[in-house]
Structure 1
């Protein structure tokens, strides 16, 4: 039975590929006290074990899915990358450059001191910095060196060994260094720093959300009493009587007839009005001055929740408090702000600044949402359909440009097809954010291209390198792990001090900036948990966009430095 199984995998290597993915995602889904190997590391380990059976997979499979993965990465970070380079994110973008240089140099020096060849160096770098994508560019660089097939294979087989050994501390170690060790080294009370930051921006604690039956915004019906203060007022004037909150008259039942309320609608005694607003305002302010009634028909308001891509120059750079004063904002409530490659939730505070490329999740009546969308940007209603023609064309264009080779002083320089796909994703991702009329890729599709694309690449690498993995781990394992600790910790510690004393970032966002520059989402989660606040995420997006791009490219650079 086992012989049949092995023979089948050798004859149909695609089965081995999907087996690696299945095991990898299953094992990667387990966690212990917040720590998990993750899908990438689990898939690599599973593939290496399966690779012991001597399975051969065409390298074209690896290249195809890697191009898909890199394009998805660029597509996701494009808006924040361009904004970070061109506008007010310049200090954070520059900081990310500095941190990524620390990451490259530390790994390079460690590899030199340890006496590793370029294959181990690239794996040490990729694992310690948890930047799996860099191995693709490192692979391209090694293949272009013109080495003998035996030496090329030796270096390529060593790469996943070093990656697997150093990745574990690269993940959990970065979270410990930034979230636990960092605040103590710099003498920062992270919880207090975040509270102070929120206080300066006029923020408070946000309750409710998924999993809670409490809702911040509600719709209730009230009958206007005889002699009611608001009788004779326009709806917008009545709403202004509650200056510290957003409340809106949505509908009115008058003489048994229901009609939608507009800003100029005159309220009359005996009207039953449907009022939307924060729950505490409806309960504590409205209810004592009006009689709440049950009117299901009146409260049956056609509403929707829509993601709006911010594309308008008119609102770019405005604070939420400024946007709330716009006439088109009447009747619209903001539930969520998403920014950046990893969909980081930005705190909703009065002084939170909105940028082009942000995604605002708003709720309200359909007509109010339509009016707001005209001013803010482009409404992106849910759809499962991806623009595959755009995906194929964009990857093709990027790969063709990347395939061009230029010689400078006799030295061939090229982005490679992988680098071209990444740049293409950056450009088209940014264009999509400012002109979202083409190139729609649903978030589920982006996830598939990003996660599955990378893991198929990793599975092919692991299966191909499987036979040489055990031997390499036995001879280099302990040393690699120790050098991995050094390569992970030193750049982060240096980055924290540079961020505080050179760039002078606010302590509340400093560690978020460091996590973004090192593209370690696990660390950001622990930082926010330690801070008991989402404020550190404000420093994550721009630095992540720059860091993710440069750390990937450094995979090629470290091969150049080592040869």
Structure 2
């Protein structure tokens, strides 16, 4: 039976790929306490096991998958990365610098003391960052070495095995440090600190993330009696700034209205806004009514990417106050996201070019207001394949360029070339958003599939050699894994608390962000009870997502030069 399965997988590599992906992502969803491996690490573990049968994938498929992943990573990080290059945000880059410098130093020390080869050293560093992108660039760098194919294969096998072992222990370490270690070291309650920060941001008593019994943003129809003789502008002013008259029906006709339109007894108006502004609607306007059909009114939502650089560093409160009421009439911000992470919709939440605002209101108001902030995401277009393909082509060509330094040929390779063109194309898209649309959902799918395919190929080829490395180093790798994860994180905690005086939720966010660890920031959010850790996580993540992949080739070069 096993022979038939082995032969089937060997003769049908596509089948082997999707078996690894299916089982790997299923394994990655399993939870033990607060931890789960995630789909990428799960796929690598399954591939290492199936690789024992001698199943492999075409190296060219691996290269194509990696190019798509690393380009997409750069594309999505580009707007936030360049938007973070300002005085206020740049101070958070110190945490990425701590991660980078400490990791390189610790990995080099371990390489000398333990006699690690280049593949194992690179696996230690990549696993210590819990960064799958670093695994990818390190694997590509090993493949470019001027060594016999058998030796390169062995180094890549050691890379995959070391990464798998180290990743598990590093993940446990960073999740425990962010969720439990930070409040313990700071001697504060994470939930209390998060609630205090939430209040400073303009939050209310209801915990963020909970569901209100009644929605906060509503539409109501009123029959005009009390407001007879008022203009629309006067009625809106009486209701408050968070309400707008969106439709006026007089008799059987919908009337085109403006601020100076006078309301008459018997008119029906649709008013939209926050519930608190409409509570006294009957007193100001007249009795609430269910209305009747024939002229249905629907509200729309629009995702708008901020492109105007003048909004860099603005808070939502400033955005609300400095854009004239006539320009934002009937439009409400109901969501803010940065690099696919939802931020709190609170007055002091900061925004920058590249962030996405979710606006809600009438279609006409949205159409008029969206262009003042940036570009409206076309939900019907998921990916501009022409633009994306040309960006990948440029990255592959850039990676082919070689420069000689001291007689040593240096090149960016697929990883460096596609990362830089991805960053540039993402920035260009944010500045000139009429082309190059890459919907976040599509980008996440392509990025995840590309990286999963790459690690599957690496794991399958590494399978037969995996057990050798595990027997060679035994418990040393897990011990070193904890150290290379904990030491940079503890240094960052000291800097964040003693030098920058950050509150506990932001401290947890920065140490999760410097490792680009989604499980860690998720754990911090659960411990905090709200999304405040994301405020610092997204800034540091923007720097680390770009810098950490570059460490793969660096550590391969350094490990080869060490005695």
Q: Shorter-normalised TM-score: what interval?
A: over 0.9
Shift of 1:445: 2.1
- Structure 1 CA distance for aligned equivalents of residues 446 and 118 of structure 2: 29
Shift of 1:288: 4.7
Equivalence for 2:335 = 336
Equivalence for 2:436 = 439
Residues 53-86 of structure 1, C-alpha deviation per residue, up to 9 Å, x if partnerless?
Answer: 1123221111110011001111111111111124
Which residue of 246, 261, 264 maps to 2:260? 264
Residues 366-424 of structure 1, C-alpha deviation per residue, up to 9 Å, x if partnerless?
Answer: 10001111211111131254211111110111121121111122232221121110111
Find out whether 1:430 has 2:397 as its counterpart.
Answer: no
Deviates more, 1:331-340 or 1:134-143: 134-143
Equivalence for 2:518 = 521
The list of structure 1 runs, each at least 4 consecutive aligned residues, that deviate by more than 4 angstroms after superposition, is 205-213
Shift of 1:493: 0.9
Equivalence for 2:82 = 82
Deviates more, 1:134-143 or 1:398-407: 134-143
Equivalence for 2:469 = 472
User: Matches of residues 92-107 of structure 1 in structure 2 within 5 Å?
Assistant: 92-107=92-107
Shift of 1:29: 2.3
Equivalence for 2:272 = 276
User: Matches of residues 2-21 of structure 1 in structure 2 within 5 Å?
Assistant: 2-21=2-21
Q: CA RMSD in A?
A: 2.2
Structure 1 pair 521–299 and aligned structure 2 pair: CA distance change class (3 A): farther
- TM-score with structure 2 setting the length: 0.93
- Structure 2 CA distance for aligned equivalents of residues 356 and 442 of structure 1: 16
SS in 2 for 1:280: helix
SS in 2 for 1:20: helix
Equivalence for 1:154 = 154
Deviates more, 1:44-53 or 1:6-15: 6-15
Shift of 1:481: 1.1
SS in 2 for 1:88: helix
Deviates more, 1:430-439 or 1:150-159: 150-159
- Structure 1 CA distance for aligned equivalents of residues 252 and 145 of structure 2: 82
**8 A Cα contact 1:320 1:349, kept in partner:** yes
Shift of 1:233: 2.8
Residues 441-490 of structure 1, C-alpha deviation per residue, up to 9 Å, x if partnerless?
Answer: 22232122211100110111111011111222233242211111111111
Shift of 1:212: 6.7
- TM-score with structure 1 setting the length: 0.93
Shift of 1:357: 1.0
**8 A Cα contact 2:493 2:507, kept in partner:** yes
Deviates more, 1:295-304 or 1:406-415: 295-304
Structure 1 pair 67–210 and aligned structure 2 pair: CA distance change class (3 A): farther
Structure 1 pair 356–296 and aligned structure 2 pair: CA distance change class (3 A): farther
**8 A Cα contact 1:217 1:277, kept in partner:** yes
**8 A Cα contact 1:397 1:424, kept in partner:** yes
SS in 1 for 2:85: helix
User: Matches of residues 107-186 of structure 1 in structure 2 within 5 Å?
Assistant: 107-186=107-186
Structure 1: 5+ residue runs without aligned partners?
none
Shift of 1:344: 1.4
**What is the number of residues matched between the two proteins?**
556
- Structure 2 CA distance for aligned equivalents of residues 59 and 432 of structure 1: 31
**8 A Cα contact 1:84 1:92, kept in partner:** no
Equivalence for 2:531 = 534
Shift of 1:224: 2.4
- Structure 1 CA distance for aligned equivalents of residues 161 and 179 of structure 2: 28
- Structure 1 CA distance for aligned equivalents of residues 180 and 127 of structure 2: 21
Deviates more, 1:43-52 or 1:291-300: 291-300
Residues 102-146 of structure 1, C-alpha deviation per residue, up to 9 Å, x if partnerless?
Answer: 233223323333332221111111112111121222223323432
- Structure 2 CA distance for aligned equivalents of residues 475 and 164 of structure 1: 15
**8 A Cα contact 1:77 1:545, kept in partner:** yes
**8 A Cα contact 2:208 2:530, kept in partner:** no
Equivalence for 1:545 = 542
Equivalence for 2:458 = 461
Residues 142-182 of structure 1, C-alpha deviation per residue, up to 9 Å, x if partnerless?
Answer: 23432333432222211111111111122232011112111
Equivalence for 1:58 = 58
- Structure 2 CA distance for aligned equivalents of residues 23 and 38 of structure 1: 12
**8 A Cα contact 1:66 1:136, kept in partner:** yes
Structure 2: 5+ residue runs without aligned partners?
none
SS in 1 for 2:451: helix
Structure 1 pair 198–469 and aligned structure 2 pair: CA distance change class (3 A): same
Equivalence for 1:352 = 349
Shift of 1:323: 2.7
- Structure 2 CA distance for aligned equivalents of residues 207 and 536 of structure 1: 14
**8 A Cα contact 1:91 1:503, kept in partner:** no
Deviates more, 1:131-140 or 1:399-408: 131-140
Equivalence for 1:482 = 479
